[in-house]
Structures are given as C-alpha cells and as structure tokens.
Structure 1
Amino acid sequence: MQPVLDPNPKDGQRKMLLVLGAFFAIFVIIAIVATLAAP
C-alpha cells in the first residue's frame, strides 16, 4: 500500500494536488470577497 503523503509523488498525483489546491484557493478568495461585500 502506498502512503497518502508521498514525499515524491508521481506527475499525475502532483497535478491533481495542484488542481485541488487551486480550487481551494479560489473558494477561499470567493468566500473572503463575499464576506467583505456583505453589508
């Protein structure tokens, strides 16, 4: 069995992590903007 946090992930894993990270970052930014825009 492969550990979840692989110190040297394969290209596919790294790309998926990057996509998930980008999604999370966008979600956080939208949440902050929505909070600031709310009256």
Structure 2
Amino acid sequence: MPVLEPNPTDGRKKLLLVFAAIIGIVVLISIIATIAQSMG
C-alpha cells in the first residue's frame, strides 16, 4: 500500500478512500449482475 501523504494524520481522507472503494465494488458487482442477467 503506497502512502500518498508523508504523514497522514487526518482520517477523513482514508474514510473517503474506503467509501470510494466500497462504492466502486458495488458498482462493479451491479454491472456484472446486469450483464449476467441480460445473457440469461
């Protein structure tokens, strides 16, 4: 895991990253599910 900041003290950025990762995974799963459904 590369550290973007030299001394990341504020946890809001990390929380935002976690949120972005969760949303990205959910979107990816929904896209895969949609494709699978359209294929039958």
Q: TM-score of the superposition, structure 1-length normalised?
A: 0.73
Consecutive aligned runs of 4 or more in structure 1 exceeding 3 Å deviation: none
Taking every aligned residue pair, what percent have the same amino acid on both sides?
A: 13
Matched, 1:32 2:22: no
- Offset at 1:27? 0.2
Query: Paired residue for 1:11?
Result: 13
TM-score by length of 2: 0.71
Gaps of 5+ in 2: 1-10
Q: Note the residue ranges of structure 1 that are not aligned, 5 or more in a row.
A: 1-8
| Paired amino acid for 2:38 | L
